[in-house]
Amino acid sequence: MGKIKSTLDIVMERTKDLAMTREDREVLEKKELTDKVRGWIQQLVDRKTTVDELKAEYAGESTEHPALREILHREVLTRVDPSAETLHVLLQVWEEVLGLDSAPIRRAVDAYKDSVEAARKDHEARVLSRLAGTGISGTAVIPNVQADGQWPAVLEGLKGGLAASLQRV
């Protein structure tokens, strides 16, 4: 009676002569580094680590992996959310770990907040105008911009503008 082979045995048998190319290794290493940086940032956002601990971890790894700087740079920019309470922590990473000036990010975030406020006022005026057209008006009418079906699209457009600004940083 023959031996029953596991799936792993079969896979190992069929791939024993295969080897990873240099390009495949580079892609795999970049993915692993990206995952590692995302983990660092997530732990920081979850308050399971500090900026100083991340800085020490980065210092140890960056000498061995030069691509780490670019990956951390990109991941911090990806995580910038003006409404999140963790923005100051990301800016601290930007300044203390990467050694970069956070003023351009702060300006982009401030411009985004100003744009949102201006769009909110404009949208409120349009909602009030629509309500007035249906006979609802007066000083007691307070439009709920968040409940308006068009507001998410406006907000998404503004977030796209912020993302484009941050990519230029």
pLDDT in tens, 57-81: 999 988 888 899 999 999 999 999 9
What pLDDT is stored for residue 161 in this prediction? 92
Same domain, 14 and 84: yes
Distance in Å from the first CA to the final CA of the chain: 67
Q: Which of 89, 37, 74, 28 is nearest to 58 (CA)?
A: 37
Same domain, 147 and 84: no
Same domain, 92 and 29: yes
Tokens of 164: 């484009």
What pLDDT is stored for residue 3 in this prediction? 67
- On the 0-12 / 13-18 / 19+ scale of CB atoms within 10 A, 103 is exposed
Distance of CA 97 to the CA centre of its chain: 17
What pLDDT is stored for residue 143 in this prediction? 85
Last residue in a domain, options 49, 79, 100? 100
Q: Is the pTM of this model over 0.95?
A: no
- Measured at the CA of 87, the angle between CA 78 and CA 103, to 5 degrees, comes to 85
What pLDDT is stored for residue 1 in this prediction? 47
Last residue in a domain, options 59, 80, 100? 100
What pLDDT is stored for residue 100 in this prediction? 94
Same domain, 68 and 44: yes
Same domain, 83 and 110: no
Total domains in the fold of the chain: 2
Same domain, 71 and 135: no
Could you give the C-alpha distances from 156 to 36, 51, 162, 167, in angstroms and in order?
A: 29, 30, 10, 17
Range of the domain at 115: 102-169
Same domain, 92 and 107: no
Same domain, 16 and 93: yes
What distance in Å separates the CA atoms of residue 129 and residue 132, rounded to the nearest whole number? 5
Name the H helices within the chain: 7-14, 22-45, 51-62, 68-79, 87-92, 103-133, 151-167
Last residue in a domain, options 75, 100, 125? 100
| Residue numbers of the chain with a pLDDT score lower than 50 | 1
Same domain, 65 and 115: no
Tokens of 38: 């995302």
